[in-house]
Structure 1
Amino acid sequence: MEPKRIAMWSGPRNLSTAMMYAFAARGDCAVWDEPFYSAYLSKTGLDHPMRQEVIDGGEPDAVKVAQACLGPVPDAQPVFYQKHMCQHMIDGVPRDWMGQVTNVFLIRHPARVVASFSAKHEAIGLTDIGFQQQAELFDQVAEMTGDTPLVIDSNDIRANPSGMMAALCGKLGLDKSEKMLSWSEGPKPYDGTWASHWYGAVWKSTGFAGQEGPLPELQGDYAAIAEAALPFYERLKTFALKPE
């Protein structure tokens, strides 16, 4: 049978690593952590933490990455979960392959994203957090496939992990698995090269964190960035999956 290929589209600081861990815990799923990150840094010249290590540890040729997204699945697993960052899909990065995979859009309120991201990387702008790119990719996938893509909100997952994972698996045509609700503590062999800088909190986890509290209060430029991102989040939120 043809493997199920899942492209999960997120921005930074958006439960994306925990979701990758959840799918890896199934046992029937190969995962790939941010395939286009090396190409993104190579093309943009951006000075991200561990920049050279990220470039050297991945594939800087975006065309080859796109081909691999549709290529043989590691360990011949029946499910191939690809954790993608929307902001990585810049001009020159192929998108035609997206019509041949199942796309899911993982969203989070921009105030929470900005608060979390700025704690790790102070110099940020709207393009760094991927909300506008996520909306563009959503529309492009809808046009490619003729269907409304799946959307799932990280806040809903944290509030009801079992129900949301069950609902997502149902929509993806996968068997439900309670294994997705927990994982081992510490680094994973499939983590990206950059994990030591970004994944400290999720390395300490063994499952999804509980429901989040009130929205953080942002000031100045950070507040303006979150406000600019909010319409993109709110539009996709109208399509968000409900728990089972």
Structure 2
Amino acid sequence: MKKILALWAIPRSTSTAFETMMRERGDFFVSHEPFALSFYYSEDRCNTTRCPDIVPNAKYNFSSTWEKLQQKNEKQRVFIKDMGYQVIPIANEDFLSCFENTFLIRHPAKTLPSLFEIWPDFTLEETGYVELNRLFEIVNKMSGKISILIDSDDLVQKPEATIKAYCNAVGIPFIQEALKWKSKIKPEISQLEGGWHNYLQSTSGFQARKEKQYVKIEDNQKLKDAYDFCLPYYQKLYENRLVIN
């Protein structure tokens, strides 16, 4: 049985566009952030301030979610996209060895204003940079090599070359047709509240977003502090990115 292919990411990094491309391929069962429900809504939940009034549900426990993914992978190879910080609580070697672990990053100058618009009370943990860096280091130590890591700017600016390089690195065929999709509502990617994927659902492929009037980092102390905190971790990860020619 082949390993589950995982893309570990940070919020607002165009990861759901990547997930949509994987769904368009048709050769994977694609799971959208399965561990988000474990992190926020389960009996194991690690954050009790984001959704304080919910009743924790055992069906979302990390062990239940993990068991379902393994069962699904026995029938059809699974691809998951999830945030690194949502899986760190269970990210030991036994767990991570069941995945082909790949990573996606994006500059905090682009992620943080977008995250702030949806979650103005976001925590540093929810920016995802520290946890993704930890996950990257754990996986590299396990494998003895640098894991596959792509940067969002490459994905948006050079989608065909980036996806070709990714497919080659993980040993799956490149499918040209998967780079385009229909602009429509995608209920399979809607879990957390807040309009996370409104823009994606209006697109038909990887593309740079037209400039939006987000709160500027330099005009907001919370964003300035978060930017200063996240930038070194992004830069460290960026040094190990897959270089796209």
Range into which the TM-score falls when normalised by the shorter chain:
0.7 to 0.9
Match of 1:99 among 76, 97, 100: 97
* Residues 75-90 of structure 1: pairs in structure 2 closer than 5 A: 76-77=75-76, 79-90=77-88
Q: Which residue of 1 aligns with 2:46?
A: 44
1:1-244 matches, cutoff 5 A = 2-41=1-40, 42=42, 43-48=45-50, 52=54, 59-73=59-73, 76-77=75-76, 79-91=77-89, 93-95=90-92, 96-194=94-192, 197-210=195-208, 217-218=217-218, 219-243=220-244
Q: C-alpha displacement at 1:122, in angstroms?
A: 0.4
Q: How many residues align structurally? A: 238
How high is the TM-score relative to the length of structure 1?
0.87
Q: Tell whether the 8 Å contact from 1:38 to 1:59 is kept in structure 2 after alignment.
A: no
Cα pair 1:50 1:194 within 8 Å, conserved: no
5+ long unaligned stretches in structure 2: none
For residues 150-209 of structure 1, give each alpha carbon's deviation from its aligned partner in whole angstroms, at most 9, with x where no partner exists.
110011111100110111000010111112211111223532433773111111111111
Gaps of 5+ in 1: none
Q: Is the 8 A contact 2:17 2:200 kept in 1?
A: yes
CA, structure 1 residues 83+52, in 2 after alignment: closer, same or farther (shift >3 Å)? farther
Once the two structures are TM-superposed, the CA of residue 39 in structure 1 deviates from its matched residue by 1.4
After the TM superposition, which of the residue ranges 174-183 and 129-138 deviates more from structure 2? 174-183
User: How big is the shift at 1:14?
Assistant: 0.9
- The CA distance in 2 between the partners of 1:52 and 1:13, in whole Å, is 25
Runs of 4+ in 1 over 6 A off after TM superposition: none
Between 1:192-201 and 1:165-174, the stretch displaced more is: 192-201
CA RMSD of superposed structures (Å): 2.7
TM-score for the superposition, normalised by structure 2: 0.86
Question: What code does the residue aligned with 2:95 have?
Answer: W
Q: How many percent identity over aligned positions?
A: 24
